[in-house]
Amino acid sequence: MEIKKKKIRLFLTITGFIFPFLALYTLFTIWPVIQGVYVSFHRWSLMGKSGFVGLDNYSRFLGDKNFVGAMLNTLKFVIITAPSMVVVALMLALLANRESRLKKILRISYYLPSVLSVAVASFIAQYMFAPYRGFINGFLHSIGTLPINQELQWLQDPSLVWVTITSMTVWWTVGFSMMLYLSALQDISPQVLESAEIDGANSRQRLFHIVIPLLKPTTYLVSLLQLIACFKVFGQIFLITGGGPASSTRPMIQYIYETAFTKGRMGYAASMSYVLFFVLVLLSLVQQIMQKRSEKV
């Protein structure tokens, strides 16, 4: 009887701690998701519901050129940025993990851009890549790579604007992924590397045959996080280019935002947001399957 009372008391204590979070999470996360599904099945404007349309909102985007263009722009950003983020994060982590007097300074400097807000990071990118007065063009002029009478239009040229957005995103957000890799590197036993060195393995062999294989779980985690983050890109593109030039960089989230709050088509915007949600769920499942298969090998 006494044991049963203790279990009940423990249950009530745990519930007391968890309930405030569950209540707020349900109110501000779960309920809006449910409400969003309801909205997606209706013709819904900023003035409210005006009629049930079933799956019409979900079938409409198949013939929407703007939707297709925004999705292709998002995929382009993902294909360029996500692999770059993984590679750069691993390289920075390897540098920050080396024994050096500058080790702490390197770790701080690599992570520091991550604490900036998207507005500040975007302003810095606009200044760095601006023609005539920007640092990048000025540097290229100073080393003779770019003629004095020529300016690269980093924010206007459709082929260069992705370089601007991608490099800015990698610089701004790589710190978190670098810290994940750095933590994983510190979990690798030094004895393993010392044994390989005694057996005659050089630094390159130790890196590609020991370190990188041991980092596979972290690589899968970083890849998944970056895929999700890249598909949700909005802030830096909206602030740097506004989706231009000529909507060539407009991502999916921006098109959903414009559809909902500029055109007032809330139902259609909600349906597109759930299409994006299912794409992310599918990618997550594929990543999990690939990870489990690699662990079995």
- Residue 170 has a CB neighbour count (10 Å cut-off) of 20
Say how far apart CA 273 and CA 67 lie, in whole Å: 11
User: Is 192 part of a structural domain of the chain?
Assistant: yes
For the chain, the 3-state helix, strand and coil shares in percent, each to the nearest 5, are 75, 5, 20
Of 71, 42, 22, residue with least CA distance to 276: 71
With a cut of 80, say whether residue 4 has pLDDT above it.
no
What pLDDT score was predicted for residue 295?
Answer: 67
Say how far apart CA 288 and CA 90 lie, in whole Å: 21
Count Cα atoms within 13 angstroms, Cβ side, for 229. 21
pLDDT tens digits, one per residue of 159-194: 889 999 999 999 999 999 999 999 999 888 888 888
- Residue 266 has a CB neighbour count (10 Å cut-off) of 23
What pLDDT score was predicted for residue 264?
Answer: 86
User: Is 22 part of a structural domain of the chain?
Assistant: no
Of 268, 270, 255, 265, residue with least CA distance to 47: 265
What pLDDT score was predicted for residue 123?
Answer: 93
With a cut of 90, say whether residue 85 has pLDDT above it.
yes
In degrees and rounded to multiples of 5, residue 43 shows phi and psi of: -80, 110
23 token code pair: 């209540």
Say how far apart CA 229 and CA 202 lie, in whole Å: 36
CATH of the domain at 164: 1.10.3720.10
Residue type, 235: G
Mean pLDDT of 76-103: 91
User: Is 46 part of a structural domain of the chain?
Assistant: no
DSSP letters along 179-247, please? HHHHHHHHHS-HHHHHHHHHTT--HHHHIIIIIHHHTHHHHHHHHHHHHHHHHT--HHHHHHTTT-STT
93 token code pair: 């982590």
Residue type, 197: E
Instruction: Give buried/exposed letters for 64-88 (b at 16+ CB in 10 A, else e).
Output: eeebeebbebbebbbebbbebbbeb
User: Is 229 part of a structural domain of the chain?
Assistant: yes
With a cut of 90, say whether residue 262 has pLDDT above it.
no
Q: Which range (79-83, 250-254, 260-264) has the least confidence?
A: 260-264
Say how far apart CA 268 and CA 206 lie, in whole Å: 53
In degrees and rounded to multiples of 5, residue 140 shows phi and psi of: -65, -35
With a cut of 80, say whether residue 60 has pLDDT above it.
yes
User: Is 193 part of a structural domain of the chain?
Assistant: yes
Number of domains in the chain: 1
The residue range of the domain holding 170 is 56-296
pLDDT tens digits, one per residue of 208-246: 888 888 899 899 889 989 999 999 999 999 999 998 888
User: Is 234 part of a structural domain of the chain?
Assistant: yes
User: Is 37 part of a structural domain of the chain?
Assistant: no
Kindly compute the dihedral angle of the four CA atoms of residues 195, 199, 203, 207, in this order, to the nearest 10 degrees: -60
User: Is 139 part of a structural domain of the chain?
Assistant: yes
In degrees and rounded to multiples of 5, residue 210 shows phi and psi of: -125, -60
Say how far apart CA 250 and CA 256 lie, in whole Å: 10
pTM: 0.87
